[in-house]
Amino acid sequence: MNECRELEKQDLGVDVGGEEEATQAYDAIRRGDADETNERIRPEHVSNDHIARAMAVKGKIRAVACVTTRLANDICFLQGTSPIASIALGRALSGAALVGSTLKQGQRTAIKFEGGGPLKKLIAEVEWDGAIRGTVAVPDAVAESVPAALGRAGFLTVTRDLGMKDPYTGMVQLYTSEIAEDLAYYLTDSEQIPSAMGLGVSLADDGQIAVSGGFLIQSLPPSDEAAVDQIMTTISKLPPLTTLLKDGTTPQQLLDILLEGVEHHPLESTDLFFRCGCSRDKVERALLSLGKAELERMIEEQGEASITCEFCKQQYRFERSELEELSKSY
């Protein structure tokens, strides 16, 4: 069996941890046992957020792993997410970090899940230096699982801005509505790189994220079927990813576990952190893009404008005089 079929058949992706904990968190909040103030706890036993990389079998296998617990907590706090939305967004943030692990200076990658479920839309973006941001359309969504929250019918869009004239955008229908499975399917089907991905998010009793992280294994040409088979066997015998993360397993240690018995060597690691690139200048440009007629209608009907960034929730207010000054720019 060649490595493409092995990766496709056995482990396109594994999302682990969270759904049962989400239900428990809902129950705790209803009972009043959990704090609803959304103050985020930063677990000290969890390693700092970062991504580790490795190559195996003389460049035939690429492996990356990440921990995103702290940034996922920060972003979910800003978004005001429900337990199931926290799980979905946490997985998407780790998935974006993994998919964007090969970015060069100035490049960025965005992943967007759109479905008919209560979450509606989920976006995660990563930049070359490890900056990540994310948002969910309906942060207070309630569902029993991530696939139910996203909806079975929908699309995954991956946009890679590689500094060329136009970004590259690929789109596939949702495969299972599991974040890891759909991302692995996209990488295997659209980018023609056989891939296995695992993502895990575990919640504390109060609905906050206790651990968040994941891994990505990719088979590069020329393939080494024996090495792929060995890695897939290792993956199949792994304890839950969230268990490893709770035990303090670092991304590099996770790679060593995944690649046990396979010749490999570590590459550079990169810190991961939350950063939103919004600014007043960008909002001004967005207002100008509306056109002179629309801007003047806004001045006439509203007299002011208030725009909220969907990622960081920063509000930008523009008084009538500022809007009138902008309208003079045309």
Question: Could you tell me where in the chain the CATH 3.55.30.10 domains are found?
Answer: 3-274
Pull the structure tokens for residue 275: 């950063």
**Are 40 and 266 contacting, i.e. CB atoms less than 8 angstroms apart?**
no
pLDDT of residue 15: 63
Mean pLDDT of the chain, nearest integer: 88
Which CATH superfamily is 280-327 part of? HSP33 redox switch-like (3.90.1280.10)
Which residues touch 249 (CB under 8 Å, ≥6 apart)?
Answer: 257
Question: Could you tell me where in the chain the CATH 3.90.1280.10 domains are found?
Answer: 280-327
Topology at the third CATH level for domain 3-274: Hsp33 domain (3.55.30)
CA 164 vs. chain centroid, Å, equals 23
Point out the residues of the chain with pLDDT beneath 50. Answer: 1-12, 25-46
Alpha helices (H) in 100-141, listed in sequence order: none
Alpha helices (H) in 197-279, listed in sequence order: 225-236, 241-246, 251-258
pLDDT of residue 18: 60
Q: For 59-89, what is each residue's pLDDT tens digit?
A: 999 999 999 999 999 999 999 999 999 999 9
Name the pairing type of β-strands 273-274 and 61-67: unpaired
Q: For 170-180, what is each residue's pLDDT tens digit?
A: 999 999 999 99
pLDDT of residue 206: 86
